[in-house]
Amino acid sequence: MSTLELLEEHIVFDGTQYKYRHESQTLACSMTFSLFLPNKEKFSNPPLLWWLSGLTCTDDNFTHKAGAQKAAARLGVAMIMPDTSPRGEDASDSEDFDLGQGAGFYINATEQPWASHYKMYDYITKELSAIAHGRFQLTGPEFISGHSMGGHGALVIGLRNPERFQSISAFAPIVNPSQVPWGIKAFSEYLGNDKENWREWDAMELLKHDTSKKIPVLIDQGDADPFYEKQLQPAKLAAVADAENYPLTIRMQKGHDHSYYTIASFIEEHLEFHLAQLATNQ
C-alpha cells in the first residue's frame, strides 16, 4: 500500500478534515483525496460516505463548498472524497473540459491513450478502498453519493456493488450517459465505438438488467438546472425504476440549479437518508 503524505489537517465542528496525497499504482500517477472523520471518542467506527464530484472538479470542491462537515460531525459519518481523474504530465488530457483530466467518469478506460491511466473505477473500489479500510480502519457500513458526472459514478458504482453499499444518493446525475452528449463523447474516447461495452457503465442499463439486490436511491434535481433536459434526464431513470419496482426517489427542487448551492441546501438530508436506510436494514 502506498505511502500517504498529509497535505492539510483542519479541525472543523466536532471532527477533522484531512487532505492526503499518494502515488496510485492503479492510475500510475500521484493522486490526492480528502477525508473527514467525526470525533473518534464518540464514533469509533463510523459509517463511511463516498462522495464523487463532477466535471472539472477536484476533491476540494465538496470539502470547501458543500458545508457537509457540520451535519457529518453531528451524525457521526466519515466522508471520503477522491479526485475526479488521473493527474499529472503523464496522464493523457484534452483541451475540452468534458474529457481527460477532471473528467474521468469513474470508469475503466479500455482505449489508448486513456487506458494507461484512466482506471477510476478500480482506483475507487479497490485501491482507495483498501486505504480507507486498512489505513483508517473505516470498516463500518458504506454509502455512496455524488454530483453530475459524480452522480453517474455513484449510481454505477453503487449498482454494481449492491452487497457493499447500503444506499445511493445523487445530485443532478447523468443517468443515461450512453444517450447524452457528455457521456457519448467520453465513452467513445475511453471505451471505443462498440456500444455494447458501454452498458456496464450506464445506470439505466444496470437498473434494467441487474436488480438482484435492490438498494435505496435518492436523487435531487433542480428544475432550474441548465443541463437538466439535454444531459441529465432523470425522468428516464424514474421510468425504468417504476418498471423494475426499484426503490428510487427523485425530488425536483424548485428554482435550484446545478451548483454547489443546491448541494449545500440538501446534503444534510442526504446524510440523514443514508443513515435511515442503515437503521432500516439493521
**Averaged pLDDT in 10-residue chunks for the chain of 282 residues:** 91 97 97 97 95 97 97 98 96 96 98 97 98 97 98 97 96 97 97 95 90 89 97 96 94 98 98 91 66
Report the alpha-carbon distance of residue 54 to residue 73 in Å, rounded.
24
Residue tagged active-site, from 117, 256, 258, 270: 258
Q: What's the pLDDT at 211?
A: 62
Length reported for the chain: 282
Amino acid at position 22, single letter: H
What separation in angstroms does the CA of 44 have from each of 38, 48, 62, 83, 102? 9, 12, 24, 26, 34
Q: What is the pLDDT of residue 53?
A: 98
- Which of 225, 256, 270, 274 is catalytic? The answer is 225
Check residue 1 and give its pLDDT. 62
Tally the C-alpha atoms within 13 A of residue 244's C-alpha that lie toward its C-beta. Answer: 22
258 as an active site residue: the answer is yes
- To the question of pTM greater than 0.85 for the whole model, the response is yes
SS3 state of residue 36 = strand
- Whether residue 174 contacts residue 180, with contact meaning beta carbons closer than 8 Å, is answered with yes
Superfamily of domain covering 4-281: Alpha/Beta hydrolase fold, catalytic domain (3.40.50.1820)
Torsion sign, CA atoms 10, 127, 102, 90: positive
C-alpha cell at 162: 449492491
Q: According to the model, what pLDDT value does residue 279 have? A: 78
- Supply the pLDDT for residue 199: 95
Q: Of the listed 24, 34, 53, 148, which one is catalytic?
A: 148
Active site includes 210?
no
Q: Do you find a cis peptide bond into 113, omega within 30 degrees of 0? A: yes
Query: Do the Cβ atoms of 269 and 253 come closer than 8 Å?
Result: no
Element spanning 273, H or E: helix 260-281
Alpha carbon 232 to chain centroid, angstroms: 15
Reply yes or no on whether 225 is catalytic.
yes
